[in-house]
Amino acid sequence: MATINGTDVADDLQGTELADQINSLAGDDTIRGGDGDDDINGGSGNDAIFGEGGNDTLFGSTGDDSIHGGPGNDTLTAGLGADSLFGEEGNDFLYGDRDAEFLDGGPGDDFLIGDSGNDVIVGGDGIDQISGGNGDDTMDGGPGNDSISGDAGNDTINGGAGDDRVFAGSGNDLITYVVGQGADLVIGGKDVDTLRLEVTSQDLPSVRDEILEYAAWLEGQVSAAGGELAYGNLSIGQTFKFSFGLTVSTVEKLEISVDGKMRDLASLSNSAPVVAEVQSLSGTEDQPIVGNIGASDPDGDAMNYELISGPANGELAFNAETGAFSYFPASNYAGADSFSVLVSDGQGGFAEQRVDIAVAGKADDPTLSVAVPQTGTASVMQGTDGNDVIIANRMAADNSQTYALAIEAGLTDTDGSETLAIAVAGMPEGAVLSAGAQQEDGTWLLSADQLEGLSVTLAVPGEVTLDISAISTESNGDTAVTSQTVSFGTSNNADDNFIDAGAGNDYVRAGRGDDVVIGGQGNDFLYGGRGNDTLDYSTSQSSVWVNLKAHKAFGEDSGFDHVRAFENVTGTGQNDRIIGNNAVNNISGGAGNDIISGGRGADVLAGGEGADSFSFHRSDVISGRNHHGVDTITDFDEFDTLDFSELLRGGRKAQAGDSVTATVVEGGTLISVEMGGRRGSVDVVFLEGVTDFDLDQISVERGNDGGRGNAFGHYAGGGSTDHGSRHDSADDHSASNSGAELFA
């Protein structure tokens, strides 16, 4: 046997495997007995004592101690101070001593004594014996057939589960019994004791009459004894035995608790509403779930419904008079939810129902957008950096084609419960995607992260129709599909081609059809062929000079090109000079300050951004009695000018009587000229969308820049030029007697 002594300061003492004698002395000590039947004295201070293994004797002495018996049949004594005693495993003896203590026997058949003080005593599992001693104690036997004595003081006693024996002792005691929880014997003591019966609303109908019978019996007993106090002082009284197991004697008062709520005896004769404890409903994500509490009242009383706890994952529309409800799950929510309702009949009767909601997931329609690949060309032909020969409409049958397939897809439900897949169906034989996996049925499947840079390569040129679907899959397997059909490509020998010759001195024959040809760098021979063909210089890094009529084009970046059989021109982003031919031309200058002349024909002209000049020659408009068409400018703005110097001069000086008229017509402004009155008025150009044309934007005299000089100067032919603002009628004008006259 070892003897271990502490000091006057806070010690941490550890026993041995033998039976030790441990004295911690002063200080807030921690003491562990270890194995063996130890004898531990905490001494003064607020100590923590652990008996651990063996049948230990533990004494807190003075101070607010925490004492734990551990395994074994231990003896725990509180000593002075507000102590907490835990018997834990084994058949323990716990003694509270004089102050207010907490005693917990734990598992085993324990003996617990509160002694003096207002103690809290819990028997725990096992057949326990509890004595409250003096003071207003609170005692709970817990599971097992316990024996509880309140002794002196106003005690609160609950036998707990099992067949318990409760002796109230002196004082005004409260004894609680849960209906159906064991065959208890309750005997009151001196003074006025109260029996509280706790019952559920479901059990109440079966025990109500018996409880009311007991209440009447008790009233008679008390009255016969001469009142509550006299009845309480009876040493021996009559007993009343309930059918549900309780036997009671010499208790003066009765309380009733139904579902945790106190009820008076008058209301007990009322039948509480009847309702299922739990109602289970199910529905689908983003859809309302409608139901009713479904309560009934045996007495026919009007019922009221009160929501006592709402749903956590949705909104509830609830009718307090009828019990009808509509549950709206939160957006995209799937899972469990619940709410609880209290039903009352206005007569003291209550019932409660919990409504459990199960929301099944539903896949939401995903988003899908597919950009249609470039269509309408028989093929996209790309030259090399060398000297190429490209002849369209004679491509080999096995020449593959690759198209960008721009697919954007996404989930609308972003709570993480759904996954996204993309399916591409309708792929022709031999065609492949740059990502994804082909399935047995020929459909290609892709994930969202495989869409970037996606392309489709056709083994044989042809017209293709693809069915593209975005598929969202919910965690429960439900799916939703958004689909789009796209068509692109053409047959191998179709007419319309897109040809980029690349760098080098190339020879290109576009063939029949409406072709687009980019000569690229180098001195090229470019032949548009039949159809409405476009000569495209938009990729050039320098300005170009293009003359379709002269079959020539030049630029520092594009080189010297020989061009034939083209009807349309697309310029660069620089300052270009573009001249059409006798066909109906479509000329787009692009950005920059461009000079554009359509030539003969009803041409469509667009200068693009920049201060552009549109030049007209007399022979382009009329020759003899022939009028060669009215040009249309689609983007004329305040920075652009009309150069009529060659139109009015025709290579000679402006004639007296020449005039220009601007007339507002539907869709824009029509510009007409009358050259000396000899040929009548001739329509020259239509300014699309222009309704506030300024005559200052017409140049009628050749300047030092070859036709783009000051718009209104003095003429060599004498006289002066008068100009006015635009009016709504061509009849409003001002004019001079000689020179070019401008009218609005």
When pLDDT is averaged across residues 367-380 and rounded to a whole number, the result is 68
The pLDDT of 163-176, averaged and rounded, is 94
Residues 183-193, mean pLDDT to the nearest whole number: 91
Position 379 scores a pLDDT of 53
Q: Give the mean model confidence (pLDDT) for residues 273-279.
A: 94
pLDDT tens per residue, range 554-578: 999 999 999 999 999 999 999 999 9
Buried b / exposed e along 576-615 (16+ C-beta atoms within 10 A): bbbbbbebbbbbbbbbbbbbbbbbbbebbbbbbebebbbb
At 679 the pLDDT is: 61
Q: What is the pLDDT of residue 514?
A: 87
* pLDDT-wise least confident of 270-274, 477-481, 614-618, 707-711: 707-711
Mean pLDDT within 600-612: 94
Query: Which of 23, 53, 68 is the last residue in one of the domains?
Result: 68
Residue 150 has pLDDT above 80, yes or no: yes
Instruction: Establish if 727 belongs to a structural domain.
Output: yes
Mean pLDDT over residues 203-213, rounded?
Answer: 89
Q: What is the pLDDT of residue 490?
A: 58
CA atoms within 13 A on the CB side of 654: 31
Q: What is the dihedral of CA 694, 696, 697, 702, to 10 degrees?
A: 160
How many domains is the chain partitioned into structurally?
6
Confidence of residue 1 (pLDDT cuts 50, 70, 90): confident
Which range among 237-246, 512-521, 578-587 shows the weakest confidence by mean pLDDT? Answer: 512-521
Residue 509 inside a domain? The answer is: no
List, for residues 387-413, the tens digit of each pLDDT value: 655 655 544 444 567 888 999 999 988
Residue 149 to residue 161: CA distance in whole angstroms: 17
Clarify whether residues 721 and 628 are in a common domain: yes
Inform me whether the pLDDT recorded for 263 exceeds 70.
yes
Least confident window among 119-128, 453-462, 538-547, 592-601: 453-462
pLDDT of 291: 96
Quick one: how far is CA 333 from the chain centroid?
Answer: 10
DSSP codes joined into one string, 609-639: SS--EEE--HHHHEETTEE---EEESS--TT
**87 close to 76: Cβ distance less than 8 angstroms:** yes
Do 195 and 128 share a structural domain? no
pLDDT at res. 716: 24
* Confidence check: pLDDT of 492 > 50: no
Question: What is the predicted pLDDT for the residue at 657?
Answer: 58
* Same domain as 741, residue 617: yes
Question: Which of 213, 234, 264 finishes a domain?
Answer: 264
Are 184 and 156 part of one and the same domain?
A: no
Q: Is the pLDDT of residue 536 over 50?
A: yes
**Same domain, yes or no, for 377 and 288?**
no
Binned at pLDDT 50, 70 and 90, residue 327 comes out as: very high
What's the CATH number where 291 sits?
A: 2.60.40.10
151 and 203 fall within a common domain? no
CATH number, domain with residue 468: 2.60.40
Task: Decide which of 114, 140, 163 is a domain's last residue.
Answer: 163
Position 463 scores a pLDDT of 82
pLDDT surpasses 80 at 254: yes
Shared domain check, 742 and 642: yes
Residue 520 lies in a domain: no
Question: Long-range contact list for 145-149, CB < 8 A, 24+ apart?
Answer: 145/182, 148/123
Asked whether residue 74 is domain-assigned, the answer is no
Q: What span, in angstroms and rounded, lies between the C-alpha atoms of 155 and 114?
A: 12
Written as six digits, the tokens of 351 are 């019932």
CA 611, CA 576: separation in Å to the nearest integer?
11
The predicted model gives 314-337 an average pLDDT of: 94
User: In which band, very low, low, confident or very high, does the pLDDT at 702 lie, cut at 50, 70 and 90?
Assistant: low
Which one has a higher pLDDT value, 707 or 205? Answer: 205
159 lies in some domain? yes
Lowest mean pLDDT among 448-462, 579-593, 648-662, 677-691: 648-662
Confidence of residue 732 (pLDDT cuts 50, 70, 90): very low
Q: Which helix (H) or strand (E) holds 352?
A: strand 350-360
Residue 265 has pLDDT above 90, yes or no: no
Average pLDDT, the chain: 86
Question: Are 236 and 290 found together in one domain?
Answer: no
Instruction: Mark whether 618 and 736 lie in a shared domain.
Output: yes
The whole-angstrom separation of Cα 506 and Cα 512 is: 19
Residues 6 or more apart whose CB falls under 8 angstroms from that of 399 comprise 379, 461, 492
**How far apart are alpha carbons 293 and 305 in whole angstroms?**
9
Q: 59 and 139 share a domain?
A: no
Q: Which residues pair with 388 in a beta bridge?
A: none
Of the two residues 728 and 186, the one the predictor is more confident about is 186
Q: Is residue 708 scored above 80 in pLDDT?
A: no
> What's residue 704's pLDDT?
38
Q: Is 562 inside a domain boundary?
A: no
Distance CA 207, CA 256 (A): 12
Which pLDDT belongs to residue 127? 96
Looking at the structure, do residues 21 and 115 belong to the same domain, yes or no? no
The residue-averaged pLDDT of 117-145 equals 95
What sign for the dihedral angle of Cα 218, 221, 224, 228? negative
Task: Determine which of 59-63, 79-83, 449-453, 621-625 has the lowest per-residue pLDDT on average.
Answer: 621-625
Give residue 97's pLDDT: 83
Q: 717 in a domain, yes or no?
A: yes
121 domain-assigned: yes
| pLDDT mean over 542-562 | 94
- When mean pLDDT is compared over 81-90, 224-233, 515-524, the highest value belongs to 81-90
Looking at residue 268, its pLDDT comes to 77
Is 701 a residue whose pLDDT tops 80? no
Do residues 293 and 225 share a domain? no
Residue 175 — pLDDT band, cuts 50, 70, 90?
Answer: very high
Beta strand 389-391 with 681-688 is unpaired
Identify the pLDDT of residue 719.
Answer: 30
Q: Which residue has the tokens 């053409």?
A: 490
Would you say 138 and 122 are in contact if contact means Cβ atoms under 8 Å apart? no
Find the domain containing 635 and state its range. 611-744
Q: What is the structure's pLDDT at 435?
A: 94
CA distance 408 to 427: 19
- The confidence score (pLDDT) of residue 13 equals 94
pLDDT in tens, 647-662: 876 444 445 557 888 9
